[in-house]
Amino acid sequence: MFQLVAEGLSSPAIGKKLFISTRTVETHRANISRKLGLGNATEFVRFAIARRLIEVEPQPRDETQGRDDEEKPESA
């Protein structure tokens, strides 16, 4: 379940992959989150990564994203 959530699959997609209903997926996610004190999908995935329950491949960084070193026009 952790790996599939980390891959960004929706509950219906996870259900199809595991041959269970969407409702069952949502129930399992809710129960896991409640028992572990996790509030959302981000916390769910971070928990799994921190405990090495899943492996995450690093994504290539977009070199243009977040760059401040480009010249900006001066205001008059």
Q: What is the pLDDT of residues 23-76, one digit of tens each?
A: 999 999 999 999 999 999 999 999 999 999 998 887 788 776 665 555 556 655
Q: Is the predicted pLDDT of residue 6 greater than 70, yes or no? A: yes
- On whether the pTM is more than 0.85, the answer is no
Averaged over 11-19, what is the pLDDT? 98
| 2-50 placed in CATH 3.40.50 | no
Provide the 8-state DSSP code for 70: S
- Contact of 25 with 67, CB cutoff 8 Å: no
Task: Please count the other Cβ atoms lying within 10 Å of the Cβ belonging to residue 45.
Answer: 20
Q: What phi and psi values does residue 41 have, to the nearest 5 degrees?
A: -65, -35
Predicted confidence at residue 72, as pLDDT, reads 57
Averaged over 8-12, what is the pLDDT? 96
Predicted confidence at residue 64, as pLDDT, reads 67
